[in-house]
Amino acid sequence: MRDQPNYVPPVGSPLTVAERRVLAFMADGKTRLETAAALGVAISTVDTLSARARHRLDAANTTHAVRLAIRSGAIS
């Protein structure tokens, strides 16, 4: 189910390892392109993982998602 392109994770469900990694790169100030290159994935994958993380965290935007992930201990 997660591999389906239109999959929407439930709000409040735990972040996946990939979602945490993307948010951690963003917390370090990396761009989408830098994050994609570091992870060896397409920019669209970074966008999808970021969007899913924002949804899981019920965040208004990526900055908010990073803040919530740090506060929850999901990333440091």
**pLDDT tens across the length of the chain (76 residues):** 455 667 777 787 899 999 999 999 999 999 999 999 999 999 999 999 999 999 999 999 999 999 999 999 999 8
% of the chain surpassing 70 pLDDT: 93
Range of the domain at 45: 17-72
In a domain, 32, yes or no: yes
Closest-CA residue to 2 (of 63, 45, 37) = 45
Number of domains in the chain: 1
The reply to whether 8 falls in a domain is no
CA distance 73 to 39: 21
CA–CA separation, 58 and 22 (whole Å) = 16
**pLDDT tens per residue, range 52-61:** 999 999 999 9
- Domain assignment present for residue 56? The answer is yes
Maximum separation of any 2 CA atoms in the chain, in Å: 31
Q: What is the CATH number of the domain that holds 43?
A: 1.10.10.10
